[in-house]
Amino acid sequence: MAKPTSSTPPEPPQWANRFLEWYCAEDLLDEIQGDLLEIYQHRAKDKGVSNANILFIKEVLLFFRPSSFKKKNPFENLPIMLSLFQSYFKTAARNIWKTKFFSSLNLIGLTIGFTSFLLIALYIQYELSYDRYHEKSDRIYRVAQVQKGNVFRGSDRFALAPSALGPAMEANFPEVEATTTLRVNEFLFTKDQETFYAEGLFCDDALFDVFSFEMIEGNGPAAIADPNSIILTQSFAKKHFGDSDPIGATLVMETDKSVVVKGILEDPPKNSHFLFDYITSFKNLSYYEPNEWDSNNYYAYAALKEGQSSEEFAAKLIQLDRQYLPKRDGKPVSESKFFLQDLEDIHLYSQINFEMAANGDIRYLYFFGAIGLIILLIAAINYLNFATADSERRAVEVGMRKALGARRRQLVQQFLGESILLSFISFIFAILLVSVLLPLLNNYLGQQISFSPGSDPKIFFGLLSLALLIGGFSGLYPAFFIARVAPVKALKGQIIGIYQKSNWLRNTLVTGQFVAAIALAIGSIVIFQQLKYVQNKRLGYNEDQVVYIPYFNSEVYKKSGLIREQLLENAQIEEVAISQYVPLNMYSSHAVNDWEGREEKERISIYASPIDYNYLDVYGMELAQGRNFSPEFPADSTDRYILNETAVQALGWEDPIGKQFNGGEVIGVVKDFHFQPFQLAIEPLYFILGTAWHFSRRGNFSIKIKDSQDLQATLSYIQTSVSDILPGFPLEFQFMDESLKQLYRSEHRLSRIFGIFTLLALLISALGLLGLVSYNVVRRTKEISIRKILGASAMGIVNLLSKDFLRLMSIALIVATPIAYLMAQKWLESFAYRITLSWESFMLVAVIAIVLTILMVGLQSLRAALTNPVDQLRN
């Protein structure tokens, strides 16, 4: 029987075959399925297809046993994966080492970026953490007040409260859990033979009910209830008592009041809006009166009960005067409206009058945060650019690997590994750098920022993941281009097409970097100029060669005549004056409603400064009209005034001499001088002759020193004179010009920090540019060589290459300048006295940028231009 031979071989039942393929382990499929298929063919030939089919099915079923199954063991691949990672790691490390130059540029840039970002993040975190130390910090509020119509230094809000406020709140509002009233004051202390000034907290009994200060020894509440006790902070105790136990020791305050140390307090953390060295009862302040509404000398804090809404309570608080304040002559005893300030917000958001210490500003935080992000962004963009350029350079290598059978996944993993490894190394370096720089930063800022992976896991792991993310992304992004590399084309060198888009993107990114860096540079210059202006602006008085000595003790005033005489004995000392304030910071102003030519209901807010006969001399203040106070005119010491020019203007007078003012007469007009920070315009001010009433409690000696070489000798003369007359009086000179610098310390710091970060941004961008230029040159090596051969000069080549980059730089300049201009303008507006933005600074930056570009391109391309073209073309 001749069976027609089928053209195609018979096939076993597919369902059985597929079933086999499903359950059978990969490595067994060869022998099992192979054998079954082969014997199927034989059987089909010998005994027929149906026989073969049956047997096939039978044997597939028979093979269905555990030994054939796919192993589900996940760990069976682990040893392989491990050695694979090892190989990737080695390859990555080797590659990084091979391209040392570019890798280190990359590394530096990224490390700088991470470090800056980390430092800024830590700083911001620290600033945000002010006053959180206290257990009830989220429901503690400072009670401040608004005095409508009384604008002082640009604000009608005052951080102060009268001593009666706390008790009134506790009595009338059930929402209030506790209140405490306090004040920070500087007092003279004597311990055994030592005398020193120290600043401390004076408070009522309830301090510990509101704040969570920790006592190390002794009973806190008891110690403050007893006016004969004092609590010292740990470091203060250490400083003055060493290692011996201060409990029970006696200190003398202000030469007449003895207090016994009854407790030691744990140091309050530096991130608090007020700091102090000791705590004692209010009763130790001679002017303290409980339950008084008239003088706003204190700071009141209230802790609300849990769950109370501060908004609702605040609304009630405003009504305080109407319902609860005692009345005097039918009107409430205080015209202020009281409002609440969140404890946690005081440091950053409160800029009202009479803060206990200079607060920070939330705007600075936003600002620095933005800078940190910008720098990080610049660094990350750099990294990305490098990675892309790198993969382009290695297109040939990639093509070869592909030709040799590398799977796309492997290639991607390889590049990814390198990218992440480098990023991780940057991260490690950044952490090390931060731990070195942080103590320096703390010193500079006077703060206490700490950092360790254990204590700040959020930031640590946040940055780590950021590093890995940047590394990962920079590794993956070029992978798109790797994928499209056609091996044959790449080996021939025809890779241009794929990388067109990447080129465009890269150029845009670099331009973006420069926009940011240029804007920062311009900003930096503007800040610097403004600061210089402020510092050098003629203040209207002579601030160098003036030394002033503040005092807080009536003993000093009693001997003031003697002191002055003694000091004037020294030929180097020109003049000595006593006054209540120095022209640095006057804050006593009040309303005057009595002057010649006043309209109905007019009031003027004017600063008052009690001085003596010599004050104007010491400070070199010039009189525009009239005369100084003089002993020849006895009326001078009772009701004569010298006004400043602004006051005269405000009063609308043409001819002020002899006019009636505030119950007295004007005898002179002094030329305007700055007695407040430059943010504020000069306000009206008057001088009067001060008396014992003004000067006895506190005041200042102002000493004018001849411009001489031997300042030290003069100072020690002053020192010995004073200590002869007043033994035990701790002398603290202040130099007028130094103190002024202190005043602008925060602006100064801002300028410095801003400058540093600008330099960093510029550095990173410059690194980016350098890298880009280098790559560009390397890529066009052949082109350059050919041009050389065809007769191009070195200069011509440099020109050619610079053109592109100059174009990018110009675009960056054009974009950056208006942005920088607007932002600088905005910042300057916050100063009453400011510079005008000059085109010179912008020009300066532009010129520097262009010169920098040309230099970089020039250097790199010059190198290429000078090499022997033959060598280049050989490859």
Write out the residues near other proteins by the rule CB under 8 A: 9, 29-39, 41-42, 55, 58-59, 62-63, 67
Residue 11 beta carbon to other proteins: minimum distance, rounded to whole angstroms: 9
Residue 44 beta carbon to other proteins: minimum distance, rounded to whole angstroms: 11
Q: How many residues does the chain have?
A: 875
User: In whole angstroms, how far apart are CA 290 and each of 102, 293, 465, 728, 739?
Assistant: 72, 9, 57, 33, 35
Please, is 241 exposed, middle or buried when counting C-beta atoms within 10 Å of its C-beta (0-12, 13-18, 19+)? middle
Which of 56/701 has CB closer to other proteins?
Answer: 56
Residue 50 beta carbon to other proteins: minimum distance, rounded to whole angstroms: 16
Q: Measuring CA to CA, which residue among 830, 553, 823 is closest to residue 695?
A: 553
Q: ∠ CA(275), CA(280), CA(283), 5° rounding?
A: 125
Residue 37 beta carbon to other proteins: minimum distance, rounded to whole angstroms: 5
Which of 65/601 has CB closer to other proteins?
Answer: 65
Contacts of 174 (CB under 8 A, 6+ apart): 305
Do the beta carbons of residue 250 and residue 194 sit within 8 Å?
no
| Helix 362-393 / helix 395-403 crossing angle, nearest 10 deg | 50
Question: Tokens for 150?
Answer: 């009384």
Which of 39/285 has CB closer to other proteins?
Answer: 39
Residue 23 beta carbon to other proteins: minimum distance, rounded to whole angstroms: 13
Which of 5/836 has CB closer to other proteins?
Answer: 5
Residue 60 beta carbon to other proteins: minimum distance, rounded to whole angstroms: 9
Which of 9/597 has CB closer to other proteins?
Answer: 9
Contacts of 741 (CB under 8 A, 6+ apart): 535, 748
Residue 480 CA to residue 502 CA, distance in Å, equals 10
CB atoms within 10 A of CB 153: 16
Contacts of 406 (CB under 8 A, 6+ apart): none
Which of 51/630 has CB closer to other proteins?
Answer: 51
Which of 34/818 has CB closer to other proteins?
Answer: 34
Residue 582 CA to residue 580 CA, distance in Å, equals 7
Which of 33/255 has CB closer to other proteins?
Answer: 33
Phi/psi of residue 296, nearest 5 degrees: -95, 85
Residue 53 beta carbon to other proteins: minimum distance, rounded to whole angstroms: 14
Question: Tokens for 71?
Answer: 């192993």
Question: Tokens for 783?
Answer: 């082109």
Residue 30 beta carbon to other proteins: minimum distance, rounded to whole angstroms: 5
Which of 42/363 has CB closer to other proteins?
Answer: 42
Residue 441 CA to residue 794 CA, distance in Å, equals 47
Which of 30/312 has CB closer to other proteins?
Answer: 30
Residue 489 beta carbon to other proteins: minimum distance, rounded to whole angstroms: 32
Q: Beta strand 229-233 with 257-265: parallel, antiparallel or unpaired? A: parallel
Residue 401 beta carbon to other proteins: minimum distance, rounded to whole angstroms: 28
Which of 59/747 has CB closer to other proteins?
Answer: 59
Residue 558 CA to residue 281 CA, distance in Å, equals 28
DSSP 270: S
Longest dimension (CA), the chain: 155
Q: Beta strand 140-146 with 299-304: parallel, antiparallel or unpaired? A: antiparallel
Residue 69 beta carbon to other proteins: minimum distance, rounded to whole angstroms: 14
Residue 342 CA to residue 857 CA, distance in Å, equals 56
